[in-house]
Structure 1
Amino acid sequence: MEGTGKHGGDQLSIKKSKPILIEPETRTHNGFFFLSNLDQVITNFVHTVYLYKAKKGGGGRDTLSDIFKQSMANILVHYYPLAGRLRLGSDGKYNVECTNEGVLFVEARANCNMDQVDVQVITEDHSETIGKLLYRSPGTENILEMPLMTAQVTRFKCGGFALGLSISHCMVDGISAMEFIKSWAETARGMPLTTKPVLDRSILRSRQPPKIDFPFGQYAPAETNNLSNITDPFQGEQILTKCFLFDSNKLAILKNMAMEDGTVKSCSNFTALTAFVWRARCKALQMNPDQTTQLLLIVNVRSKLNPPLPKGYFGNGIAICSCLGRAGELIKNPLSFAVEEVQNGIKMVNEEFVRSWIDYFEVKRAKDFRLPSHFIVTSWTRLPIECADFGWGEPAQFGGANLPKDSGVFLPDGKEKKGINLILDLPVTAMSIFQELMLL
């Protein structure tokens, strides 16, 4: 299989070998593996790419692929659910059948040097380019037929290589994904696991009987929820995806803007930037002042439970909170108004919220649950990307692909992570306005 596409004026061609299945080195588990309700909310695959520079005096391509394949077989013994396949129960929820079929592994070669490929900066042709560093099973649309993880190792002419991963969100959130990658990398380097995975997800079972103490009406089917006045701003126009860098100076300016009227006494980079982007997006889309705008935030709940989720918990430990407002109020008020809305939304996520969220999904079941398509913000700025050291050092670059529509994703900028890259998609007309609003 081959693919070509231009990136930065250079022609990128990737030749991929036939994919193979990597099974756990030993088979010790059969039967079905329980997925909590937090694992059922986002069911798409997460695609990430890591770029590594050539190792001085390093071995050839065969050595490289052998290390990845053998260490994968070893680590799947500890993370055996990844070698299984999703199954849909009679209750409309997913679980995993531990079939030990394994994960897909693909070797590939590029026709260029690694420095000709940039997976951090998002441009119009980014998806096509970064997509060549990932393997996606052709013709497979049903997630029940897909391996839960796919890995592609692409060797560049310079000796550097890319690791492209696709992992089912039913299995991991960002934190547990990086914990798995760290363990895999430690195995590849011949080291013992720093943290052994905690696979038991039953600690997040729903209460019996369910007890829902928070309103989650916005997650009901479209015909019954009260946010149906929101029209789809993406109809009829080409969608552009852009990357905006907020360095430490710009982030400091935003925080000062948020606190200058004294309403907000303190705020984080995340809340200031999220509020700023929320307001700017409303302006760029030229929303009606009376139109309801909903901001969804993905919140890590590991430390919000009592007791907290154990270290090494392998699964989704996230909940989604909602901030609702009128577009006109967000736009006419100072930035502090939007910052307070974001802060209040995050504060709402406590243990009772999380347990109610789990119970709500239990009552509604998957068939009656939907994630509203308005604007969702997720941050990867605190993920320990540097732990993905398979023996070639830290990744020189890191990027994501196939980001969800109507989303804003925060990625760390540089090794010191002092800046934030915002990745966002908008219709052409709105993107032109949004770009002007980003000039601080």
Structure 2
Amino acid sequence: MASPNALTFKVTRQNPELIPPAKPTPHEFKPLSDIDDQEGLRFQLPLIQFFRKNPAMDGEDPVKVIRDAVAKALVFYYPFAGRLREMAGRKLVVECTGEGVLFIEAEADVRLQQFGDAPQPPFPCMEELLYDVPGSGGILNCPLLLMQVTRLKCGGLIFALRYNHTMSDAFGLFRFIFTVAELARGAKIPSVLPVWQRHLLNARDPPRVSYAHHEYDNIPDTNKTLIPLDDMVQRSIFFGPAEISALRSRLSPHLRRCTTFELLAACIWRCRTIALSLDPDEEVRILCFVNGRGLFNPPLPAGYYGNAVATPVAISTAGNLCKQPLDFALELVMKAKSEVTEEYIKSAADLMVMRGRPHFTVLRSYIVSDLTRVAVEDLDFGWGPALYAGPAEAGSGVVPGLLSFHIPFKNNKGESGKLVPIWLPANAMEVFVKEVEKMVKRDDDDIDLGDAQKSSIFIASARL
């Protein structure tokens, strides 16, 4: 069988249609929070889910099932059927117009098996699996969701969507998708009702910034060290139990209590910095998206589907990060994450209002988001759990190439672990792969990341 990344196929699409809520919904204006509408979240993020054929669903059309469930879900999540407007002070407000979300019906002359035993980013022909409807990709005055359901020759299906990140973080967006799945399976109402309440993450009056928030530093690019985007390669790396254990064995005993997210973030930040061959005296940063839902007292409501994230930053010179052992990077990541509290998030909201909703710092930065607690593997529209559910690519964002995700994943050996898509210049990617190989290699190992027979790590790649 050809490599999944060399796969080509034909997709036949129906004309895009707008799916409005199944019942009338209020026409009103609902402001986003001051965390939602920061510049760094004003982008569209593509997601994709693969589902096998389910003989129990023979005779059911997945397009109709999901289309109808989306319409029903929009009755509860009716702001998604509206459009964003920008008001004074760059404040974003949803006009709940009930116009609906964009929906595309499609068929592909390909079988799910041709995507490989364990589909992973980058996906072949992604532009066919999620058609970019002309004029739909803006932030303002555009549909807030774009969906495509593609039937496959084998009876499986692919559900892809793109959403406006200002409306929701990953937890909030998947709460909506889980609702669609519940309704598709016959539920009458969501098991968790949505909660708007964006005022809970608004700036205080008067605003008071109580942290330094170096994640929003304005740094001039005097050395022209933004990543060039003309020869980029995307790869996905799987970290299974053996690789995670090998990384932990490199740590000092007092650091082995770290989370897997912290461990992998530190490892990849270090290897990525080595691969980019930066001036040793230049500052490099890692920004970690941290879910703040449980940090509030009381916690945010279970149905809150807005952005409830902070982006604490760890900073080092490139030289120190590359020369010091993994302990050094890990301690920086752990310290940055530990700073996030309810007050930290409120302080960030205050900063947004006082400084015009700035973008977080992107110069020599690496940004990482943990999706392993979103339970995407439980997503089921009636065809069974998703074979893959998560971001369609690495590098999404206002500034391409900086953002990676940690995605729950089961490889083709049945091992559960974390999948991390990476986007880098082609020459840097080669160095990065070798550095990761060294980090996950024990003294008695013979690991080659390019050979799935030798290691549970495997890499899919594509030039972008």
TM over 0.5: yes
1:186 to 172, 182, 187: 182
Q: What is the aligned partner in structure 2 of residue 28 from structure 1? A: 25
In 1, Cα distance between equivalents of 2:435 and 2:178: 38
Query: Match of 1:46, as an amino acid?
Result: L
Contact 1:32 1:95 in 2 (8 A): yes
Cα offset, 1:80, TM superposition: 0.5
Q: 1:31 to 1:371 in 2, by over 3 A?
A: farther
Q: 1:78 to 1:66 in 2, by over 3 A?
A: same
In 2, Cα distance between equivalents of 1:117 and 1:236: 27
Contact 1:218 1:227 in 2 (8 A): no
Moved more, 74-83 or 283-292: 283-292
Cα offset, 1:142, TM superposition: 3.0
Q: What is the aligned partner in structure 2 of residue 15 from structure 1? A: 12
Contact 1:53 1:396 in 2 (8 A): yes
- 1:260-279 alignment to 2 at 5 Å? 262=253, 264=255, 266-279=257-270
In 1, Cα distance between equivalents of 2:172 and 2:206: 29
Ranges in structure 1 where 5+ consecutive residues have no aligned partner: 1-5
Q: What is the aligned partner in structure 2 of residue 199 from structure 1? A: 196
Q: 1:30 to 1:139 in 2, by over 3 A?
A: closer
Q: What is the aligned partner in structure 2 of residue 326 from structure 1? A: 317
Q: What is the aligned partner in structure 2 of residue 356 from structure 1? A: 347
Contact 2:25 2:98 in 1 (8 A): no
In 2, Cα distance between equivalents of 1:329 and 1:144: 42
In 1, Cα distance between equivalents of 2:214 and 2:317: 18
In 1, Cα distance between equivalents of 2:388 and 2:293: 28
1:302-359 per-residue CA deviation (whole Å, 9 max, x = no partner) reads 1111221111112111111111111111122211111110000000111111110010
Q: 1:311 to 1:345 in 2, by over 3 A?
A: same
Q: What is the aligned partner in structure 2 of residue 49 from structure 1? A: 48
Q: What is the aligned partner in structure 2 of residue 257 from structure 1? A: 250
2:235 to 239, 242, 250: 242
1:153-180 per-residue CA deviation (whole Å, 9 max, x = no partner) reads 1001111111111111111111111111
What SS does structure 2 have at the residue aligned with 1:362? helix
Moved more, 302-311 or 63-72: 63-72
In 2, Cα distance between equivalents of 1:257 and 1:227: 36
1:71 to 36, 48, 69: 69
Q: 1:135 to 1:246 in 2, by over 3 A?
A: same
Q: What is the aligned partner in structure 2 of residue 311 from structure 1? A: 302
Query: Match of 1:266, as an amino acid?
Result: R
1:254-274 per-residue CA deviation (whole Å, 9 max, x = no partner) reads 112122xx4525211111111
Q: What is the aligned partner in structure 1 of residue 449 from structure 2? A: none
1:377-417 per-residue CA deviation (whole Å, 9 max, x = no partner) reads 11212221133211111112234224321222211121887
Q: What is the aligned partner in structure 1 of residue 424 from structure 2? A: 426
What SS does structure 2 have at the residue aligned with 1:243? strand
Contact 1:296 1:323 in 2 (8 A): yes
Query: Match of 1:45, as an amino acid?
Result: Q
Root-mean-square deviation (Å): 2.2
User: TM (normalized to structure 1)?
Assistant: 0.91
Contact 2:362 2:402 in 1 (8 A): no
Contact 2:33 2:198 in 1 (8 A): yes
Contact 1:289 1:328 in 2 (8 A): yes
Q: 1:26 to 1:371 in 2, by over 3 A?
A: farther
Query: Match of 1:193, as an amino acid?
Result: P
Query: Match of 2:233, as an amino acid?
Result: L
Q: 1:217 to 1:332 in 2, by over 3 A?
A: closer
Q: 1:54 to 1:141 in 2, by over 3 A?
A: closer
Cα offset, 1:140, TM superposition: 4.1
Aligned length: 425
In 2, Cα distance between equivalents of 1:236 and 1:52: 33
Query: Match of 1:340, as an amino acid?
Result: E
What SS does structure 2 have at the residue aligned with 1:37? coil
In 1, Cα distance between equivalents of 2:289 and 2:323: 26
1:165 to 158, 161, 165: 161
Q: 1:103 to 1:140 in 2, by over 3 A?
A: closer
What SS does structure 1 have at the residue aligned with 2:163? strand
User: TM (normalized to structure 2)?
Assistant: 0.86
In 2, Cα distance between equivalents of 1:210 and 1:263: 39
In 2, Cα distance between equivalents of 1:138 and 1:290: 44
Q: 1:218 to 1:203 in 2, by over 3 A?
A: closer
In 1, Cα distance between equivalents of 2:44 and 2:406: 18
1:78-120 per-residue CA deviation (whole Å, 9 max, x = no partner) reads 0000000011112112111000000111100001212112583
In 2, Cα distance between equivalents of 1:329 and 1:352: 31
Contact 2:119 2:387 in 1 (8 A): no
What SS does structure 1 have at the residue aligned with 2:22? coil
